[in-house]
Amino acid sequence: MSAPLAPKALKRLFDKIGTVDAVGIEERVLKYGTRSIKTDSKLWGLRCAVSMVDLTTLEGKDTPGKVASLCQKAIEPHEFSDTPKVAAVCVYPSMVKHARKYLGVSPVKIASVATAFPSGQAPLKTRLAEVRYAVAQGADEVDMVINRGAFLSGEYALVQDEIAAVVQACGKSALKVILEVSELETYDSIRAASCLAMQVIREGDFIKTSTGKTGLNATLGNNQVMLEAIRDHYLATGVAIGMKPAGGIRSAKQSLQFLTAVKETLGDRWLTNKRYRFGASSLLNDLVRQIEKQRTGAYQAPYAFSEAAESY
Amino acid sequence: MKRLLITKTPKVYVGGAFIRSESGRVFAMKDADGNFFANIPQCTRKDLRNAVEAAAKAGPSWAKRTPYNRGQIIYRLAEMIEARSLELAEAITLGSTKKSLVTAARNEVAASVDRLVYYAGWADKLEQVLGNVNPVAAPYFNFTMTEPMGIVGLIASQEASLLGLISLIAPAIVAGNTVVASASELNPYPAVVLGEMLATSDLPGGVVNLLTGFHRELVPTFATHAHLRAVIAEATADERKTLALGAAETVKRIHTFKAEDNINWYSDSFESVYRIQDTLEYKTVWHPIGA
């Protein structure tokens, strides 16, 4: 029943929001790699990127101890330079109370994934209960996943209603809506899902590329599609939505290209961690490594930084 | 009909791939008669940085291979060079600024092959010689064993363009280090050809990374790069000073040969287990003796 529904519903949706010129997007994002960002502006960009990191651990083997060291890293990414704190730590709901304990009064926020992350394949009631649990435990931000099954079968109203229900369950906590772009497959679908989500979320909420649990994560291409959707939404309604690419951004160089995309698409007002985040774990160490390189003039070894995975 | 001259623009072997310098720069190489011969990549400190990243990636699995396997791979490299020794000998004479004899070049290739075979043999024997079970006055086994240092920077001989390079590479990689080497700038061509041979050998990409370019541009970065754990270099007095100062900052091991000493790379002193020791760390472990 749902199969024939999809094309019609999709057409109605695209009549309203417009489609994406995929080739144009690819060409556009290629240019971001060509900007020459050196010395002072590079340092500014690196520090800005550090302040936007949602330092993430989302593994079955997470323990309170692991969360404790993650929180310490979030508060003080590197001991020898005045590196800014990261924006937030991102953990599973059961780890929120531990993060709360270790972060104390620091301004670093706690983001919790919820709604049966990463698949979202649980009854709505269960998903909402999980959101309320995370918020009650002290999560400042909630990262939800959309119902991709419903989206792909054309039940856009259902997708939107579920997001609206999660917005309510969040209360004062900010919401990040994960589209899981790799499962949406086309730029058109990414734009459609972005617009559906933005119609029901609030100023200060985010849309987010992916869970980091699938093969393809944040790329400059899907980042660009979502940034342009945010721009169109802002111009139409005046509501400023934030953006969070997640997964796959590992090097400082990549993060500067993403920041270039933000500046050239949405402008300086989005170059703040209130409106732009990086969902990442290994990115942070590469950022502080490059900041140290700028400070000392010497290339640094990755294992000289805390929480490094590299040892050779 | 007169053929069009085929001049090469060779690339260097880094991370298992052939790259140009990220700067896009090249320098012209002339043959012994002073005719233009090839444009050689003029690598920069950023190329060095990228090469170190490539070496870091290849390092853990190279160090984890059995010593026996490392020995086999290095021996096979020697086999391959032996089979293509004429090509390498030609590369040595072609790029040499001095008119050198073909026989001298062939001798240099032969000595290089022998050197690889020599160090290949050490792969599964160095632990017997350098490691030890130490007598201690308590009920413990006390072992000392060797570990590779990690990524080693090599600054190769200016004159012995092939033998000088291989004499530094072989003892470093046999124990599980990975290397980033700066080739002779007077005659970089044998290093380019060697790269083409390394690419078809069984040596995993990234274990040996070869850069061409000017030593004066690369030596300061070799000295200060914290990820390089040791630098083995044929260096001038100025370069030795730069290396010593930079290395002090990062607590790096430096071993230099004086370029002004007119080093004889054929010397037996370059075939020694202590050349391998130059890029090793010792680890001592105490283990209680069971009842």
Q: Which CATH number covers residue B234?
A: 3.40.605.10
| Chain B CB within 8 Å of residue A300 CB | yes
Cβ within 8 Å, pair B49-A299: yes
Domain-located, residue B7: no
* Residue listed under structure tokens 């990191």: A53
User: How far, in Å, CA of B225 to CA of B44, rounded?
Assistant: 13
Q: How far does B241 lie from chain A, in Å, by closest CA?
A: 17
User: In this prediction, what percent of chain A has a pLDDT beyond 90?
Assistant: 88
Q: How many CB atoms lie within 10 A of CB A250?
A: 14
Q: Give a yes or no: residue B1 inside a domain.
A: no
Confidence of residue A2 (pLDDT cuts 50, 70, 90): very low
Residue with tokens 């593994």: A59
B242 at A interface, C-beta within 8 A? no
Number of structural domains found in chain B:
1
CA-based nearest residue to B79, from B187, B239, B203, B262? B203
In a domain, B82, yes or no: yes
Per-residue pLDDT, averaged over B13-18, amounts to 97
- Mean pLDDT of all residues in A243-250: 95
Q: Note whether residue B168 is domain-resident.
A: yes
Give the CA radius of gyration of chain B.
Answer: 20
Q: 3-state secondary structure string, chain A?
A: CHHHHHHHHHHHHHHHHCCCCHHHHHHHHHHHCCCCCCHHHHHHHHHHHHHCEEEECCCCCCCHHHHHHHHHHHHCCCCCCCCCCCCEEEECHHHHHHHHHHHCCCCCEEEEECCCCCCCCCCHHHHHHHHHHHHHHCCCEEEEECCHHHHHCCCHHHHHHHHHHHHHHHCCCEEEEECCHHHHCCHHHHHHHHHHHHHHCCCCCEEECCCCCCCCCCCHHHHHHHHHHHHHHHHHHCCCCEEECECCCCCHHHHHHHHHHHHHHCCHHHCCCCCECEEECHHHHHHHHHHHHHHHCCCCCHHHCCCCCCCC
Residue B18 lies in a domain: yes
Please compute the mean of the pLDDT values over residues A226-234 and round it to a whole number. Answer: 97
| Nearest-CB residue to A298 (from B56, B151, B224) | B224
Q: What is the DSSP letter of A246?
A: B
Q: What is the ipTM of this complex?
A: 0.89
Q: How many residues does chain A have?
A: 312
B252 interfaces chain A, CB cutoff of 8 Å: no
Size of interface A-B (CB pairs under 8 A): 29
For A312, the closest of B49, B59, B221 (CB atoms) is B59
Token pair belonging to B92: 């040595």
- Domain coverage including residue B105: 12-288
User: Is residue B93 predicted with pLDDT exceeding 60?
Assistant: yes
> What is the helix (H) or strand (E) element at residue B245, kind and residue range?
helix B237-250
Distance CA B198, CA B183 (A): 15
Mean of per-residue pLDDT scores for chain B: 94
Strand partners, A279: A54, A246
Q: Do the domain assignments include residue B99?
A: yes
One-letter amino acid of A161: D
The band of A287, judged by pLDDT with boundaries at 50, 70 and 90, is: very high
DSSP B153-168: EEE--SSSTTHHHHHH
| CATH number of this structure's domain A2-297, picked from the four choices 1.20.120.1200, 1.10.10.10, 3.20.20.70, 3.40.50.720 | 3.20.20.70
pLDDT digits (tens, 9 = 90+) for B220-265: 999 999 999 999 999 999 999 999 999 998 899 999 999 999 999 9
Please indicate whether residue A79 or residue B105 has the higher confidence score (pLDDT): B105
| B175 and chain A in contact, CB less than 8 A | no
Q: How far is B128 from chain A (nearest CA, A)?
A: 24
- Per residue in A48-59, pLDDT (tens digit) is 999 999 999 999
CA dihedral B75, B80, B82, B86 (to 10 degrees): -160
Evaluate whether residue B5 is within a structural domain: no
Residues 46-65 of A with CB under 8 A from B: none
pLDDT tens digit string along B34-44? Answer: 888 899 999 99
- Angle among Cα B73, B50, A33 to the nearest 5 degrees reads 135
Instruction: Tell me the per-residue pLDDT of A139-198, one tens digit each, with 9 for 90 and over.
Output: 999 999 999 999 999 999 999 999 999 999 999 999 999 999 999 989 999 999 999 999
Question: Residue A298 is nearest to which of B56, B151, B250, comparing CB atoms?
Answer: B250
The pLDDT of residue B101 is above 80:
no
Of residues B232, B225, B178, the one with CA closest to residue B57: B178
What pLDDT is stored for residue B99 in this prediction?
62
In sequence order, what DSSP letters do the residues of A85-152 get, joined into one string?
PPSEEEE-GGGHHHHHHHHTT-S-EEEEE-SSTTT--S-HHHHHHHHHHHHHHT-SEEEEE--HHHHH
Question: Closest Cα of chain B to A290: distance in Å?
Answer: 12
Longest pairwise C-alpha distance within chain A: 64
